[in-house]
Amino acid sequence: MREAFASVLSRLTQAVPLAGAATDVISGGAFGGLLSAGVDISDKLAKRLTTGPTLESVRSRLKQVLRGLDNRKVVVVIDDLDRLTPAEAVEMVSLLKGLGDLPNVVYLLCYDEERLAQLIHTELEVDGLEYLQKIVQYPVHLPPLDTTDISRLLDADLRLLIQSWSDTDHRRLASAWILVLSRYIRTPRDVRRLINAYSVASAGIGDHTNPVDLLVLETIRIHEPTIYSWVRQNHELLVTY
């Protein structure tokens, strides 16, 4: 089955080159690096498309293999489609469209619908939502996370990093969440990004800073780099010695 999949993907990617994050699936994973990214439209490509097995023949072979699975299913999970470039997003969606009718194969796509639709619109100048509706058969919209849930995620991660919080730190963290953090930390991805940045910063200067102050500064650095740059250059206006 891996060989059959690789043959189909090989023919598809010759016509629809993959790039960037999409190359993860073709660089030595289950398909053994059989495919190449960034194919140029050239004489070599023209020869490649007119020699060897046709796309339909390799598709037919793959379908025959997949039908032999009986009641078993192949589940293909593709995450973070909305984090690609516009060209990469269209290439990946086009690739899925070309493989969408395979028997016993289910694709689970994870993405922010609005962002992915905008990427498609940017690249193709078409209605991105309508484009997706033609490909995605059954969209499942996850309920938005409540701010309380996000704050609990952040608090749980912080407790692993900071073993001892004073009562003052707890009060200041609650104020920091209301006044600053909640305006920027809206998704689990935001929490993870902040915690990763905070852990690096704390390892370097944690002994010389208040944990809540450092957390707020890292939030500003990530989401408001212009303001963070101004603070760095004008800290004497904000700090009393």
CA-nearest of 146, 221, 144, 211 to 176 is: 211
The mean per-residue pLDDT over the stretch 89-100 comes to: 84
Q: What is the mean pLDDT of residues 206-231?
A: 92
What span, in angstroms and rounded, lies between the C-alpha atoms of 62 and 5?
Answer: 6
Domain ranges of the chain: 2-133, 147-237
Condensed to tens digits (0 to 9), the pLDDT of residues 35-78 reads 333 334 344 444 454 456 676 787 788 888 888 887 888 888 98
Which three-class secondary structure string do you get for 130-192? HHHHCCCCCCCCCCCCCHHHHHHHHHHHHHHHCCCCCHHHHHHHHHHHHHHHHHHCCCHHHHH
| Mean pLDDT over each residue of the chain, to the nearest integer | 79
Residue 14's pLDDT is 60
pTM (2 decimals)?
0.59
Task: Give the whole-angstrom CA distance, residue 145 versus residue 71.
Answer: 36
- Is the predicted pLDDT of residue 191 greater than 90, yes or no? yes
Q: What is the pLDDT of residues 6-43, one digit of tens each?
A: 777 776 666 554 433 333 333 334 333 333 333 343 44
- Phi, psi of 105, rounded to the nearest 5 degrees: -120, 130
Looking at residue 108, its pLDDT comes to 92
